[in-house]
A and B are shown apart, each in its own frame.
Chain A
Amino acid sequence: MPSNKKHSWKHKHLLDVDSLASTEYKSIFSLAEKYNKLLNNKKMIKKTLSNVNIFNLFYEPSTRTRASFELAGKLLGANVINIASNISATQKGESLINTIKTINAMHSDIIILRHEDSGAAYLASQNTDKSVINAGDGSHAHPTQALTDSYTLLRKFKSLKNIKITMVGDIKHSRVARSNILLLTKLGAKITLCGPKVLIPKSFSTDNKSRSKEFSFKNINIEHDLDKAIKNADVIMALRMQTERQHSKNIPSLKEYAKKYQITNRHLHSINKNCLLMHPGPVNEGVEISKEVAESSLSQIEEQVSNGVAVRMAILELIYLNN
Chain B
Amino acid sequence: MKTLIIKNGTVIDPNSRLNKKIDIEIKQGKITNMKPKIMLEKKHEVINAKGLIIVPGFVDLHVHLREPGFTHKETIKTGSLAAAKGGYTTICAMPNTEPAIDTVKSLMNLNHIIKKDAAINVLPIGAISKKRLGNKLTPVASMQKNGIVALSDDGDHLDDESMMIEAMKKSKQFSIPISQHCEEQALVHNGHLHEGWVSDHLGIKGRPREAESNMVKRDIAIAEKFGGHLHIAHISTKESVKLVEKAKKYNLTVTAEVTPHHLDLTHESIGVSNIGAKIQEPLFNTNMKVNPPLREKEDVDACIEGLNNDIIDAIATDHAPHSFSEKSVVFEKAPPGISGLESAFSIGMRLVQKKKIKFEKLIDKLTYGPAKAWNLNEIKGMEGIGKIKIGHNADITLINKSKKWTYSKQQIISMGKNSPYIDNVFQGKVVMTLRRGKIIFNHRKLEVL
Contact = CB atoms under 8 A, between A and B. Distances in A.
A117 B284 CA distance: 11
Contacts of A138: 203-204, 332
Contact of A203 (B200, B278, B281, B282): B200
A15 to B, nearest CB: 8
A284 interface: no
Interface string B272-285: 00000011111110
A35 interface: no
B239 interface: no
Given A119-B331, A140-B202, 4 more contacts: A19-B280, A96-B329, A117-B333, A178-B203
Given A117-B330, A118-B204, A211-B197, A18 B296 contact: no
Interface in B155-208: 190, 196-197, 200-205
B40 to A, nearest CB: 56
Contacts of A202: 200
A118 B331 contact: yes
A19 B296 CA distance: 23
B314 to A, nearest CB: 30
B268 interface: yes
A215 B283 CA distance: 15
User: In which size bucket is the chain A interface?
Assistant: 20 to 34
A211 B284 CA distance: 18
13 contacts: A16-B281, A115-B330, A119-B204, A119-B282, A120-B330, A123-B329, A140-B204, A178-B203, A201-B200, A203-B200, A204-B200, A215-B201, A247-B205
Interface in B318-353: 328-333
A91 interface: no
A118 B328 contact: no
A118 B279 contact: no
Chain B residues touching A, majority SS: loop
Contact of A122 (B196, B205, B283): B283
Contacts of B296: 210
A178 B281 CA distance: 14
Interface string A117-129: 1111011000100
Contacts of B328: 97, 123, 127
A201 B280 CA distance: 21
A178 B333 CA distance: 22
Contacts of B200: 172, 201-204
Contacts of B280: 19
Nearest to B196: A210
A208 interface: yes
Contacts of B201: 178, 203, 215
A175 interface: yes
Contacts of A97: 328-329
A47 B311 CA distance: 69
A141 B202 CA distance: 8
A212 interface: yes
A96 B282 CA distance: 19
Contacts of B332: 117-119, 138
A95 B329 contact: yes
A249 to B, nearest CB: 11
B279 A173 contact: no
A203 B206 CA distance: 13
A90 to B, nearest CB: 13
Interface in A4-29: 15-16, 18-19
B281 A18 contact: yes
A16 B200 CA distance: 15
A212 B198 CA distance: 10
B204 A215 contact: no
Top-8 shortest CB links A-B = A139-B203, A119-B284, A203-B197, A201-B200, A140-B203, A117-B330, A118-B203, A203-B200
Interface string A201-234: 1111000101110110000000000000000000
B218 to A, nearest CB: 22
Contacts of B204: 118-119, 138-140
> Which of B196, B202, B204 neighbours the largest number of chain A CB atoms within 10 Å of its CB?
B202
A264 B203 CA distance: 29
Contacts of B331: 117-119
